[in-house]
């Protein structure tokens, strides 16, 4: 059955001149058939570089939107149109306007995990892999970091020379991880290094040996001489981590964080949108241009 769907996907990809992009959090079966797999920064960059007419974006809505914003001439298909990141909505446009009035020289720094409407109101986008670098490079002293409070706090600590103002958004899965859960794993695996996504709470970050994006976590585990790791992020990264071999072992906190929206993406749905062209990302041109400026600025500022 699975082999048949994979064959159908391969055929449709050729017929439609399509390419498949997948985030590290989607199911391993989808990562396996993707042409490009990565963190949100890599996927935004690669979406601009590929020449295919159709991009099937295996991730959540904001990722597909970013691909469309940067590639208006291409068709971007979402395998599940309802796969949406809850954090992407966790600040209002009114709040941004209010902050701009309060701080005349404010830079609004928008984590890519945000709607296109929020991006359109921002000065620059960032991802977890470049947020510190970009905030450091901004000429503004006052920075309103939206929507994620945990990533914002991490950036604030790394860039003490700026006045980073936090918003109260959060990822429901990363925010649920507690220091107690990490300590419980550490007791079972005392030699393990703790690898953490910066969307986690401060109490978890302070117990960590490495803090970084999904790509950063995978790359750290690959280069490390250590054999055991406690992973504080969404379970999808296990597909890549298990593939590293060399007897390396990975333990997730319990209960294991699983993003329900990322897991809505299935092979069947990939085949379906390729066949039908359903769930194409559409947007108003004016809104697209407003949202494109901060995304392009991120691509210029980040390496």
Chain contacts with ligand 13P (rule: CB under 6 A): 39-40, 113, 127-128, 171, 197, 199, 213-214
Contact partner, 27, from ligand SF4, ligand 13P, none, Cβ < 5-8 Å per class? none
Size of the site for ligand SF4 (CB under 6 A): 15
Considering only the stretches 85-93, 114-122, 127-135, 279-287, report the one whose residues sit in contact with ligand SF4 under the rule CB under 6 A.
85-93
Residue 120 or 259 with smaller CB distance to ligand SF4 = 259
Residue 176 φ then ψ, to 5°? -75, -20
Residue 124 φ then ψ, to 5°? -155, 145
Instruction: Pick one of 234, 267, 270, 302: the residue that binds ligand SF4 (CB under 6 A).
Output: 234
Q: Does 171 bind ligand SF4 (CB under 6 A)?
A: yes
Alpha-carbon dihedral 190, 192, 197, 200, rounded to 10 degrees = -10
Contact partner, 86, from ligand SF4, ligand 13P, none, Cβ < 5-8 Å per class? ligand SF4
* Concatenated DSSP letters of 124-175: EEE-TTTHHHHHHH-S-SEEEEESBHHHHHHHHHH-TTSEEEE--B--TTTT
Instruction: Pick one of 67, 70, 87, 265: the residue that binds ligand SF4 (CB under 6 A).
Output: 87
CA 138 to chain centre: 22
Query: Is residue 265 within 8 Å of residue 61, measured between CB atoms?
Result: no
Q: Does 173 bind ligand SF4 (CB under 6 A)?
A: yes
Q: Is 55 helix (H, G, I), strand (E, B) or coil?
A: strand
Of 74, 19, 34, the closest CA to residue 281 belongs to 74
Residue 236 or 294 with smaller CB distance to ligand SF4 = 236
Contact partner, 213, from ligand 13P, ligand SF4, none, Cβ < 5-8 Å per class? ligand 13P
Q: Does 262 bind ligand SF4 (CB under 6 A)?
A: yes
The partner residues of 126 in beta bridges, in order of sequence, read 111
Q: Does 145 bind ligand SF4 (CB under 6 A)?
A: no
Q: Which residues bind ligand SF4 (CB under 6 A)?
A: 25, 60, 85-87, 113, 171-174, 199, 234, 259, 261-262
């Amino acid at each position: 059955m699975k082999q048949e769907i994979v064959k159908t996907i391969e055929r449709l990809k050729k017929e439609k001149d399509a390419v498949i992009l997948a985030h590290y959090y989607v199911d391993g079966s989808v990562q396996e058939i993707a042409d490009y797999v990565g963190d949100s920064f890599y996927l935004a960059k690669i979406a601009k570089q590929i020449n295919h007419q159709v991009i099937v974006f295996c991730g959540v809505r904001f990722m597909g939107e970013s691909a469309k914003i940067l590639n208006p001439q291409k068709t971007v298909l979402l395998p599940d149109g309802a796969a949406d990141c809850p954090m992407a909505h966790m600040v209002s446009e009114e709040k941004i306007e209010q902050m701009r009035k309060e701080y005349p020289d404010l830079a609004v720094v928008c984590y890519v995990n945000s709607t296109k409407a929020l991006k359109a109101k921002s000065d620059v986008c960032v991802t977890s892999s470049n947020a510190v670098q970009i905030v450091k490079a901004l000429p503004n002293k006052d920075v309103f970091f939206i929507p994620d409070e945990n990533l914002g706090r991490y950036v604030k600590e790394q860039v003490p020379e700026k006045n980073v103002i936090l918003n109260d958004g959060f990822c429901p899965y990363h925010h649920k991880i507690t220091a107690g859960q990490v300590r419980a794993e550490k007791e079972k695996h005392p030699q393990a290094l703790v690898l953490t996504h910066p969307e986690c709470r401060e109490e978890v970050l302070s117990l960590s040996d490495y803090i970084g994006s999904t790509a950063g976590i995978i790359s750290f585990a690959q280069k490390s001489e250590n054999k055991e790791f406690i992973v504080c992020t969404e379970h999808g990264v296990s597909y890549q981590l298990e593939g590293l071999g060399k007897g390396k072992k990975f333990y997730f906190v319990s209960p294991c964080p699983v993003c329900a929206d990322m897991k809505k993406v299935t092979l069947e749905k990939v085949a379906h949108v390729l066949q039908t062209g359903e769930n194409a990302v559409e947007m108003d041109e004016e809104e697209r241009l407003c949202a494109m400026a901060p995304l392009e600025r991120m691509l210029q500022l980040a390496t």
